[in-house]
Every structure is written in C-alpha cells, then in structure tokens.
Amino acid sequence: MRIGLNTFLYTSPFTTKSVSLFPKFKRWGFETVEIPVEDPSHIDPVKVREAAKKAGIAIGSICAAMGPGRDFRGTPAEQKNAMAYCTALIDQAAIMGCPSLIGPIYSVVGKADAVPAAQQKVEWALVVKNLKRLAAHAEAKGVTLCIEPLNRFETDFLNTCEQGLRLVKAVNSPAVKLHLDTFHMNIEEKNQAAAIRKAGKLLGHFHACGSDRGTPGGDHIAWPEIVKALKAIGYKGDVVIESFTTDVKVIARAAAIWRKIEPKRDNIAVDGIKFLRRVLK
C-alpha cells in the first residue's frame, strides 16, 4: 500500500504551475499524489508527468470534480457534459501514467433529495448506461474507474459500500472498482471494517480521512480494525489523505469546512503520514 495526498489540501484549482507542490510532498514521504482536475484545460498532462517524475513521486490518481452540469443521471446535456469531462480525464490519466480516475463518477456533488422509487430506477439505469460506455473507454486506455459512495448530505444516489458494489457489478467491467472513504463511511456504515471486507477484491481505491476531515489518527475512527480489514482482503492500492481546511476558500465552502480543524494544514499531511506509516506498518 502506497500513501498519498490529495492536493485539495493546498490548492484549487490544480494547474500545471501547482506541480511546485510535488517536491514538498516527496520530502514528507508521500509516495503518490492525487490530483483533482477541475477542468482538463487547467493542466498540461505531459508537463505534470515530467514534474512528478523529477520529484520522484507517482501520480496515483486523478480525482473527478463532479460540479454543476456534470451529471450521469441528469438532463441529456448534463450527461453529455459529464461524459466529455470524464473521457478527457481518462485520456489525461493515460498520458500521465496514472492508473485510476476516482471519486463520485455518477452525479453532481450536492444533489441530494427524496427521489420517488420509479425515478430512482430511471436514474440508476442512466448511470449504469453511461458508466458502461465510459468504462469501455477507460479499459481501452488502461485506466480504472473507482466509484466513491458519498455521505447522505452530498448525494442521495450512492451512500454505502453495498450500494457501491451493486453499481460496480451492474456496470460489469474489469475497469470499474469501488472507492471507499473513511469520512463518508463514518457517517453511513454500521462498521467500516466490515464494509471493507465486503468490498473485497473490488476495492480499488481508499481515502484515509479523519472523522472530522482532519488528521487521520487524531479522531475516533477504529484505525487498527480498518487496517486489519485492508490486509485481510489483500488490498494493494493507494491509501490517500483527502482533507480540507479553511485555507482553500472554494473547497472549504464546498466541503462545509467552517472552522480551523487543525492548527496548520501541514499538520494534516505531516502528522497524517506518520500515523498511517505506523498503523499500516
């Protein structure tokens, strides 16, 4: 298991110039970096790839930013926008040698409402249809789509590991796996370790976040049990810290970060990787 860091902790949007963060992450001991690409035009994938190579850090994942207008269960125009955006990210990932596109690759984040059962079936079918098409492109490019359930306040579509597995199995592609996040699981799962064991070999990506979005280890999450579960299923993927602070205003607002969770954002990265190294052994 490699330990990585999501760049939302330090910047939004990530641009080609943001590669200046890579040497610092490498000094702290991170093996991989996770890059949220809010718009494909923000980066030159060749330059980002070369900067990562020079810093000695791997681009472990691209994080999809499913903002307004990008919705695989939305209007035809929103579905088209989501497909064009995610397809472009897959192409960029392939250029950068990045193995995974991760996140809530199904609907715009923040769309959460009581949807009638009949409409749920319609939306489910739309997402499956669109993901089958996207997965075919991902498979051709050698990229894996890792689908992330979010908590109930961020989506009504996919909240639990069980729901995520149902979607992965419905798409039925070797290029589609599950992405679990301890912050979301802390809200939605009865038992995080049990959810990980249920995911088994279909777990393709993992976010290690504090229960308050702060430093992993400085919270109430049962980390030893989570690590045992990851090892029990033979998980070999990345373990990425995805935390946010008030320093990056646009992300703070989007993630409802209204207060200083840690003294400094560097604490999340530096203390977080020390803890994860110790608990992952």
pLDDT of residue 128: 98
Contact (Cβ atoms closer than 8 angstroms) between residue 61 and residue 101: yes
Q: Stretch 243-261: mean pLDDT, rounded?
A: 85
Helix (H, G, I), strand (E, B) or coil at 200: helix
pLDDT of residue 257: 84
Q: Stretch 255-269: mean pLDDT, rounded?
A: 89
Contact (Cβ atoms closer than 8 angstroms) between residue 186 and residue 159: no
Q: Stretch 65-83: mean pLDDT, rounded?
A: 98
pLDDT at 252 over 90: no
Q: Do strands 203-207 and 176-181 pair parallel, antiparallel, or not at all (unpaired)?
A: parallel
pLDDT of residue 250: 85
pLDDT of residue 254: 82
Q: Stretch 210-239: mean pLDDT, rounded?
A: 96
* Residue 158 structure tokens: 């996919």
pLDDT at 202 over 90: yes
CB proximity list for 263: less than 8 A, separation 6 or greater:
none
pLDDT of residue 104: 98
Cis peptide bond prior to 13, omega within 30° of 0: yes
Q: Report d(CA 168, CA 184) in Å as an integer.
A: 18
DSSP 41: G
pLDDT of residue 99: 98
Q: Do strands 2-6 and 32-37 pair parallel, antiparallel, or not at all (unpaired)?
A: parallel
Contact (Cβ atoms closer than 8 angstroms) between residue 209 and residue 187: no
CATH hierarchy code of domain 2-280: 3.20.20.150
- Other C-beta atoms lying within 10 Å of the C-beta of residue 278: 10
Q: Stretch 187-213: mean pLDDT, rounded?
A: 97
pLDDT by residue (tens digit) across 125-139?
999 999 999 999 999
Q: Where are the beta strands (DSSP E) in the chain?
A: 2-6, 32-37, 58-64, 100-103, 144-147, 176-181, 203-207, 238-241
Average pLDDT over all residues of the chain:
96
pLDDT at 263 over 90: no
How many residues are present in the chain?
281
DSSP 166: H
* Residue 65 structure tokens: 């930013």
pLDDT by residue (tens digit) across 29-65?
999 999 999 999 999 999 999 999 999 999 999 999 9
pLDDT of residue 251: 85
Label residue 97 by pLDDT band (50, 70, 90).
very high
pLDDT at 269 over 90: yes
Which DSSP string do the residues of 203-218 spell out, in sequence order?
EEEEE---TTSS-TTS
pLDDT of residue 259: 87
